[in-house]
Amino acid sequence: MTNRLEQALGKLKHSGVRMTPQRYAILSHLLNATSHPTADDIYRALEDKFPNMSVATVYNNLKVFIETGLVRELTFGDNSSRFDADMSSHYHAQCDQCGKIVDFHFPTLTEIEHTAAVETGFQVRGHRLDVHGVCKDCQSRMTH
């Protein structure tokens, strides 16, 4: 069991969330995914192992993980939510052609949050930065 999975399971237990085999499988899949899957992607990846599991079950468990602070929901212009279990400070780049999402790291933009708080009087809880363009794979397909 990975250290991240152990930590996540501990956090769920501490929050009083009962662990089910389906919940464990969804969380484990998310922690190992680098593709920022949709709920449908997760459902399809696990449907052979859990034939009685529905997409609604996946969504409901994702909501629990979000509420517990284990997963973040990413919404992009394509109207489909993606899910990310990497809760570290990082940003995302999305390909306009194939929709692939790639993480990138940059020093956190806390200065922007501070300025926003000062200028608006808001209690700023976070920010989001996404870049978009065309990934290397799609660029090479476009030149051939």
Say if residue 67 is in the same domain as residue 109.
Answer: no
Closest to 66 in 3D by CA, of 91, 93, 44, 39? 39
CA dist., res. 22 & res. 28, Å (int): 10
Shared domain for 72 and 135, answered yes or no, is: no
In the chain, the number of structural domains is 2
What are the beta bridge partners of residue 9? Answer: none
| Average confidence score pLDDT of the chain | 89
Q: What is the CATH number of the domain that holds 13?
A: 1.10.10.10
On the question of pLDDT at 29 being above 70, the answer is: yes
Q: Which residue has the tokens 């919940």?
A: 23
- Per residue in 39-89, pLDDT tens? 999 999 999 999 999 999 999 999 999 999 999 999 876 677 999 998 888
CATH number, domain at 142? Answer: 3.30.1490.190
Residue carrying structure tokens 């794979």: 137
pLDDT of residue 144: 72
Same domain, yes or no: 47 and 10: yes
Q: Which domain holds residue 115?
A: 88-144
CA distance 89 to 71: 13
Same structural domain, 52 and 116? no
- The proportion of the chain whose per-residue pLDDT surpasses 70, expressed as a percent, equals 97
Judgement on whether residues 132 and 81 belong to the same structural domain of the protein: no
Q: Tell me what pLDDT residue 78 has.
A: 65
* Contact residues for 41 (Cβ-Cβ < 8 A; gap 6+): 35
Q: Is residue 31's pLDDT more than 80? A: yes
- Residue 40: predicted pLDDT: 95
Same structural domain, 75 and 31:
yes
Beta strand 72-75 with 130-133 is unpaired
Could you tell me if 22 and 79 lie in one domain?
yes
Is 14 in the same domain as 57?
yes
DSSP class of residue 133 equals E
Structure tokens at 37: 């899957």
Please check whether residue 54 is in contact with residue 2, taking contact to mean a CB–CB distance below 8 angstroms.
no
Whether residue 43 sits in one domain with residue 9: yes
Instruction: Give residue 99's pLDDT band: very low, low, confident or very high (50, 70, 90).
Output: confident
Number of CB atoms found within 10 A of residue 66's CB: 14
Instruction: Say which residues have a Cβ less than 8 Å from residue 63's Cβ, sequence separation at least 6.
Output: none
> 77 with 143, same domain?
no
Q: Model's pTM, two decimal places?
A: 0.77
Residue 46's nearest CA partner among 20, 72, 22, 66 is 22
